Chains A and B, each alone.
Chain A
């Protein structure tokens, strides 16, 4: 059955292109609701398909194995709810007269293109094509971050373009080095860039080339993943971009960048053994968690707060992958739950931004009373992001810590220390916003359409988080079972 993968990738491109001809706002809304539905359903079906009957290939360039299916699920579900939220949020800007119909249509064309290339990036078989798709995501994100054309947006957008371009260029150099090494074995053909082929001959690749290549790849794609110290674009971009875009940057683009790093990690491990990449990932992961857990406390802007929390969580996932073993399960589970929780938090934050027209944490206490939808979204997502049981991030953090305790206890101590710090700082900031008595009256209220769409998006995300916290579907269990052998990891999970 190949139609879930076709639908998943083709829908955003087709609906994005339809924005060129569709001139009615109503029709665009309906089309994007359809797109949201298709993305969520087809990514779930794809997981079922791959976990039951193995990899799916389509045409000559798409190849969905268990790893791709996992990232399809993460990106697909969040892209679906993100589309719903964007319909409400950007529609509200249009209703208020902040945006012309032309700009409204442009926004959705860029937005759909952005989602489409990210889904493409995690499914293509050729690592050169993957680079092209990731660069496409960079460029469409650049257009979206500066979309509102204000000073902050332009500054953040420019910083993003410059830093990401440098990163992506370094990643291409790494990709060229891999090809340089693999074509000695596979010949000058396109197959020398295919994952499946490379994994067959991985142990014969030249170790010194692969080491240098992996460093370039890690620094390059790591810039897109927001790893410290290449993270400086991330808080600016997340803070200044239109909120649906911030949510997609955080939940999807960072995840996609981790996917790219993992693909190369598997290959490099075959050539040089797991210690080399493991140490690098652990180092970058630790720096990311440590820095962001402190900086979280200094934030006065709630969108930047969520941005730093993304740096922290990507760091945690990286520590999991760096440890290997069941840490890999922890990392994967972490990425899925983080994407759901962080986008829900951004959806809530966006509603606060629309109604209050500022982003100061200190000026919006009492959100649970004043704006229950936004308040609940921020409160529940905040608890999840802080790592409270029974949610998924608690499971993944505990798994990573326990795994570290078994292998190298010193890592576990450090990990738990920074984790506790991040728990305290994030929860403190979130509780300051959601509890208490409202300080100021909102400057405006959101329209019924925006309220309906954003409530729906938040409900799906929070529902999925609670569901995954209480019960693990068999399909996901099997899928993780199919991914672990890639990392030579085994053990009992859940």
Chain B
């Protein structure tokens, strides 16, 4: 049971959520693929710390398990798979993007404001400890979405998806004190399988098209 006063706990949870958000911005500003993968692993680390804090402060034990799985799957296994893919590719940096970096950062700033605006009418329902995390979680989901649509390389699009997943997990842990255990395990399993499947796809796209630049795949349209 918690030994920390609730308001200090709440500050700590907010601090960790803010760090998660900060790594999102770092990913948006990063062109090197390897560094993007590292930043994603770092973000997953912060996520695990947030989950551990929530578990400790609330005494809900199965959140510890979720934190351990986050470290194992999102901070270790998936980054390894992604790095292996990046090494096999002939490209290390993303030169052209649909949106350039300064504009991208500005848009992400806008997304954060939008997230706070959307969640403003409903945060008062939440638990005192983690009230502000819901808005931050939504902001992370939206920025992940933005990364997916603004980048051209298959690998960075995948990182965008995983960032979205991190945002969702933050929402589930921080705002709702974790989904039921079975559901949480299922979600982890799905994310892992999704990682493997996009790995297979990037490999085949590289072999068939000679590049992982998805802007080359535009045969199918009206």
Contact = CB atoms under 8 A, between A and B. Distances in A.
Interface string A216-242: 000000000000000000011001100
A208 B121 CA distance: 7
B179 A179 contact: yes
Given A128-B180, A166-B161, A154 B217 contact: yes
B177 interface: yes
A139 B190 contact: yes
Given A132-B190, A165-B161, A212 B204 contact: no
B130 to A, nearest CB: 11
Nearest to B164: A169
A209 B118 CA distance: 10
Contact of B157 (A143, A162, A193): A162
A135 interface: yes
A132 B188 CA distance: 10
Given A169-B164, A190-B180, A193-B183, A239 B198 contact: no
Given A126-B180, A135-B190, A193-B183, A176 B171 contact: yes
Interface string B162-189: 0011011001100111111011001101
Contact of A183 (B148, B176, B214, B222): B176
Nearest to A178: B176
B119 to A, nearest CB: 8
Interface in A103-147: 126, 128-129, 131-132, 135-136, 139, 142-143, 146
Contacts of B11: none
Nearest to A133: B186
B176 A179 contact: yes
B186 A132 contact: yes
Contacts of A146: 201, 204
Contacts of B119: 212
Interface string B111-142: 00000001101100110000000100010010
Interface string A237-261: 0011000000000000000000000
Contact of A154 (B125, B167, B201): B201
A47 to B, nearest CB: 28
A154 B201 CA distance: 7
A151 B208 contact: yes
A212 B167 CA distance: 17
A179 B214 CA distance: 36
Q: In the complex, which range does the number of interface residues on chain A fall in?
A: 35 or more
A181 B186 CA distance: 22
A189 interface: yes
B205 A158 contact: yes
A361 to B, nearest CB: 15
A158 B154 contact: yes
Contacts of A155: 217-220
Contact of A176 (B157, B179, B194, B217): B179
Contacts of B138: 173
Contact of B204 (A132, A136, A154, A189): A154
Which of B168, B179, B214 has the most chain A CB atoms closer than 10 A to its own CB? B179
B107 interface: no
B63 to A, nearest CB: 11
Contacts of B200: 143
B15 interface: no
A169 B141 contact: yes
B220 A239 contact: yes
A453 interface: no
A172 interface: yes
Nearest to B217: A155
Given A189-B180, A190-B180, A139 B161 contact: no
A212 B119 CA distance: 9
Contacts of A181: 125
B125 A128 contact: no
A206 B186 CA distance: 27
Contacts of A180: 122, 125-126, 134, 175-176
Interface in A141-177: 142-143, 146, 149-152, 154-159, 161-162, 165-166, 169-170, 172-173, 176-177
Given A139-B197, A158-B154, A172 B182 contact: no
A184 B161 contact: no
A156 B220 contact: yes
A188 interface: yes
B190 A176 contact: no
Given A154-B205, A189-B180, A209 B186 contact: no
B187 A172 contact: yes
A139 B217 contact: no
B48 to A, nearest CB: 18
Contacts of A149: 204, 208
A197 B144 CA distance: 33
A380 B136 CA distance: 53
Nearest to B161: A165
Kindly list the 7 A-B residue pairs having the minimum CB-CB distance in the complex, ordered from nearest: A128-B183, A132-B186, A190-B180, A155-B217, A236-B220, A135-B190, A169-B164
Interface of B: 60, 118-119, 121-122, 125-126, 134, 138, 141, 144-145, 148, 154, 157, 161, 164-165, 167-168, 171-172, 175-180, 182-183, 186-187, 189-190, 193-194, 197-198, 200-201, 204-205, 208-209, 214, 217-220, 222
30 contacts: A126-B180, A126-B183, A128-B186, A131-B187, A132-B183, A132-B190, A139-B197, A142-B201, A150-B208, A151-B208, A154-B208, A158-B201, A161-B201, A162-B148, A162-B161, A165-B164, A166-B161, A169-B145, A169-B165, A172-B187, A173-B167, A173-B171, A180-B122, A180-B175, A193-B183, A206-B122, A209-B122, A212-B119, A240-B220, A298-B222
Given A155-B219, A176-B172, A189-B180, 16 more contacts: A126-B182, A128-B183, A129-B182, A129-B186, A131-B183, A131-B187, A139-B197, A149-B204, A154-B209, A155-B217, A157-B201, A158-B214, A173-B171, A179-B176, A193-B180, A212-B118
